[in-house]
Amino acid sequence: DIVMTQTPLSSPVTLGQPASISCRSSQSLVHNDGNTYLSWLHQRPGQPPRLLIYKISNRFSGVPDRFSGSGAGTDFTLKITTVEAEDVGVYYCVQATHFPYSFGQGTKLEIK
């Protein structure tokens, strides 16, 4: 089974400053069809998660362009260019290339 490891687990940031979260998989996430099904989700307290990024780097509908995803193979990164107050919460990477699907442990983004 694929293990997803996120770093850091906690990230205190200053409003207006950038933030970056890393996600590493224990095996390549390249599917037989050539796609890499690595997504990023954001969860605010008391709410279900929402999709931010799919297939490594594609912003989902309505997601601000301050969010970007990058990476390949087993190493992936979510970046926020300038953190806003509404960005607090927990960020998860998830792989849907191989069954069983698996999530990272989550990274808590909080404002300093």
Partner 1 sequence: QVQLMESGGDLVKPGGSLRLSCAGSGFIFSDYYMNWVRQAPGKGLEWVAYISSGGTTIHYAHSVEGRFTISRDNGQNSLYLEMNSLRPEDTAVYYCVRDEGCAGGTCTDWGFDVWGQGTMVTVSS
Which of 13, 56 has the CB closer to partner 1? Answer: 56
**Gyration radius of the chain over CA positions:** 13
Among positive and negative, which fits the CA dihedral 106, 32, 60, 82? positive
Q: Cα 73 from chain centroid? A: 15
Give me the residue label for tokens 């362009």: 65
Q: What is the largest CA-CA distance in the chain?
A: 43
Segment interacting with partner 1, rule: CB under 8 A, options 12-20, 31-39, 65-73, 81-89: 31-39
| Least Cβ distance, residue 50 to partner 1 (angstroms) | 7
Q: Which of 7, 17, 28, 50 binds partner 1 (CB under 8 A)?
A: 50
Binding residues (CB under 8 A) for partner 1: these are 1, 35, 37, 39, 41, 43, 48-51, 54-55, 58, 60, 90, 92, 94, 96, 99-106
